[in-house]
Amino acid sequence: MEEKIEIIEKFIKAKNGRATYRSWLLKYFEIIDADLNIYFSMNRNYNEDILKFADAIQDWAPATRKSSISCIKNFLMYNNVEIQPKTKYELKERCKGPSAVSQEKIPERADLKEILSFGTVRHKAIFLTMASSGMRPGEAVSITVNDIHLDETPIRIEIPYDITKSKESRITFISSEAKHYLKQWLRIKDSYLNSGRNKADISDKRVFPFSSQTLREMWNGLTEKAGYDDLDERSGHNKKRHKMTPHKLRKFFKTSLSNASVPFEVVEALMGHEEGMSAVYRRYSPDQLKQWYLKGEPNLLIFEMPQNQEMIDDMRNRLDTLTKEFEKFREFEQHVASTELRDANGDVVLDDELNPVMVTGHIPQDAVRIAYEQEQERKFKKLVEVLGDEELAKVVWGLKPGCKQVKPKQS
């Protein structure tokens, strides 16, 4: 027994509450059904093991659940197991205790467009910057001009460690439309701050020299004008908060990049989640992060259309038209299916693809084949006439279930 728990004793020897740690670790091996003697020499998926443990203890008290998961995670890392960023994120979610169900709304592009349409350059600059960078509100009102590289595309922002939640510096980027309004804001910033009502210290080097409270008030003013000022009735506090908060711009950022197939750990790192940062900065160069951001940037645009959006819309319209025309063709096909075909001698030919009746033996097989090919070619020509494009007709014809590809005669 002593040999069996030796690896546990090495890990917990310098810790307080060793008995509790020991019981958690033994419970871990019981849940995953693994032998302590050979556990770290086995070809196991250790990330799946800890998630299995976390799922099995969901009925434990929240504090105990969180502490035990932390214990197992540190134990695995102590034994040189790499916990993947996505696993860390999922463990964090499982550690959360029961709380009031929030009704906060994750904004979509149309929502943000409507909300920001009531804003000035100042509003659009800060909120488009937040929506396209994934920055927290506190980070957005703390960055300085020196943190922003205006001469790069996309604009790169270096967020200093002392203003981040994780206390680790990171980089992120902003979209082309955020850049447009940001440059406009920087041109009028000093005059705005020097105006009577807004008079402030123009020596303030922050890009957005406002407090977090002022930022929330700015946002709430816009959502009220746009009709998005519903309160969260289940926020769990005496003071209800808005469903659509500035913090939700980070959710928009995450969802938009994820929908563009940007890797999970890249999105997490750009947002400043500790789970993704360490892995990303080991695997990706700043230029690679930039390329992934550019891939997802079209999904972050609120007012601007992606460069190829007109072409996409045109293709969608053409597809809708072709779909309607093809439906007309299918009606025509059904009509043909109920029509008698005749061979060169005037005898009735039954097309076995258009008519469920089998071809009878008294009709010459060559006549059946010739009549069938003639009818198929006639139908194909009709499809070309309907679609107005022979190549497209070939594609549509080939995709039709149960139809043979027509080989038009060479001219």
pLDDT over 70 at 399, yes or no: no
CA angle 245, 249, 250 (to 5 degrees): 115
Q: Would you tell me how many other CB atoms lie within 10 Å of the CB of residue 226? A: 18
Quote the longest CA-to-CA distance of the chain.
102
End-to-end CA distance of the chain: 88
Q: For residues 284 and 208, what is the distance between their CA atoms, to the nearest angstrom?
A: 30
Q: How far is residue 387 CA from its own chain's centroid?
A: 36
Across residues 378-389, what is the average pLDDT?
Answer: 76
What residues are paired with 149 via a beta bridge? 156
Structure tokens at 239: 């003071």
At 273 the pLDDT is 81
Average predicted confidence (pLDDT) for the chain: 78
> Of 6-20, 33-47, 282-296, where does mean pLDDT reach its minimum?
6-20
Burial of residue 212, with CB atoms counted within 10 A of its CB: 0-12 exposed, 13-18 middle, 19 or more buried:
middle
Q: Which residues contact 88 (CB under 8 A, 6 or more apart)?
A: 73, 274, 275
Q: For residues 405 and 83, what is the distance between their CA atoms, to the nearest angstrom?
A: 54
Confidence band, pLDDT 50/70/90 cuts, at residue 113: very high
Contact 158, 135 (CB under 8 A): no
155-172 tens-digit pLDDT: 999 999 899 887 889 999
pLDDT over 70 at 294, yes or no: yes
φ, ψ of residue 320 to 5 degrees: the values are -60, -45
At 38 the pLDDT is 87
Q: For residues 308 and 294, what is the distance between their CA atoms, to the nearest angstrom?
A: 14
**Amino acid residing at 320:** D
Contact 71, 24 (CB under 8 A): yes
Contact 175, 155 (CB under 8 A): no
188-206 tens-digit pLDDT: 998 888 875 655 566 788 9
φ, ψ of residue 197 to 5 degrees: the values are -70, -30
Is this structure's pTM higher than 0.85?
no
At 378 the pLDDT is 81
39-50 tens-digit pLDDT: 888 889 999 999
pLDDT over 60 at 250, yes or no: yes
Q: Is the dihedral of CA 188, 191, 192, 193 positive or negative?
A: positive
pLDDT over 80 at 296, yes or no: yes
Q: For residues 71 and 62, what is the distance between their CA atoms, to the nearest angstrom?
A: 14
Q: For residues 276 and 381, what is the distance between their CA atoms, to the nearest angstrom?
A: 57
DSSP string, 21-77: HHHHHHHHHHHHT--TTTGGGS---HHHHHHHHHHHTTTS-HHHHHHHHHHHHHHHH
φ, ψ of residue 157 to 5 degrees: the values are -120, 125
Confidence band, pLDDT 50/70/90 cuts, at residue 396: low
